[in-house]
Chain A
């Protein structure tokens, strides 16, 4: 086992162990903070795979945008540190069995398939290539995504607005804006 393999297992553990808490923790704020570690782990796995742009974009958009929004919403919709009546073990049985079944099938496929011999090349910086692709072969999806982001921004702002009187759309727009800025760079 090489050092790279060890790093992979550490990152996989960083992704999966906190994910257990994201799923199981009765306290939704704990789940949110554990989601931070999971997202960090996934960013680490991206970096391990040589996708440097994606790793940093994951940090920027998920942790700097989505997770902040999630935590904000959690804190705005309940009193601090209150427990959520969400931990009924009985209700977890059926979903648990279903998820386990899906997992077994997926694992059988994952380990049973011959994926072909990987011929790895050294990881190159990917940013320039991704950017060039956005402006050439992927120009239509790229522009379309910008449109979707704009629509989401406006939609979130309208949804969040008080029925009448002052509007308060700042926080809801933040993630969309962050994402937009990431696309533009």
Chain B
């Protein structure tokens, strides 16, 4: 095995991204889909930080990652509020059954 370098991080991030993608497509549970989105965001963050360390030598990548973390928190709050509203209206959190805008 070679020394850990940028490509290692890109590989880990690619694996994480594809797992997240798979979860988003496969899961029916709305919270499960959200978890997949979190995995995708984390893989993007990992790339930002790795590239900022290995290639660019500035802090910009880390700042981008900070913004991603903050927006992920906002996204989770809104998404989970939607999930709870969905649960109230349809009685479950299955993304496939939520087909109407009103009850």
A contacts B directly (C-beta below 8 A): yes
Contact with B along A32-58 (1 / 0, CB 8 A): 100100110010011001110110011
**Given that A35-B35, A133-B63, A183-B70 are known contacts, is A115 also in contact with B77, CB under 8 Å in the complex?**
no
Are the C-beta atoms of B70 and A106 separated by less than 8 Å? no
Are the C-beta atoms of A61 and B32 separated by less than 8 Å? no
Are the C-beta atoms of B71 and A99 separated by less than 8 Å? no
Interface size on A, residues (CB 8 A): 91
List chain A residues, Cβ under 8 A from B27.
Answer: 86
Are the C-beta atoms of B12 and A175 separated by less than 8 Å? no
Chain B residue nearest in CB terms to A16: B15
Sorting the interface of chain B by its residue count into under 10, 10 to 19, 20 to 34 or 35 or more gives: 35 or more
Most central of B11, B14, B55, B81 by chain A CB within 10 Å? B81
Secondary structure dominating the interface of B: helix
Are the C-beta atoms of B50 and A49 separated by less than 8 Å? yes
- Whole-angstrom distance between the alpha carbons of A109 and B54 in the complex? 17
Secondary structure dominating the interface of A: helix
- Whole-angstrom distance between the alpha carbons of A57 and B3 in the complex? 28
Are the C-beta atoms of B74 and A69 separated by less than 8 Å? no
CB proximity to B under 8 Å, residues A117-170 = 118-121, 126, 129-130, 133-134, 138, 141, 145, 148-149, 152-153, 155-157, 159-160
**Is B25 an interface position by the 8 A CB rule?**
yes
Chain A residue nearest in CB terms to B91: A77
**Given that A15-B12, A153-B77 are known contacts, is A49 also in contact with B49, CB under 8 Å in the complex?**
yes
List chain B residues, Cβ under 8 A from A103.
Answer: 14-15, 18
Contact with A along B28-63 (1 / 0, CB 8 A): 110110111011001001100110111101011011
Considering the complex of A and B, which 3 residue pairs feature the smallest CB-CB distances, nearest first? Answer: A95-B25, A179-B73, A152-B74
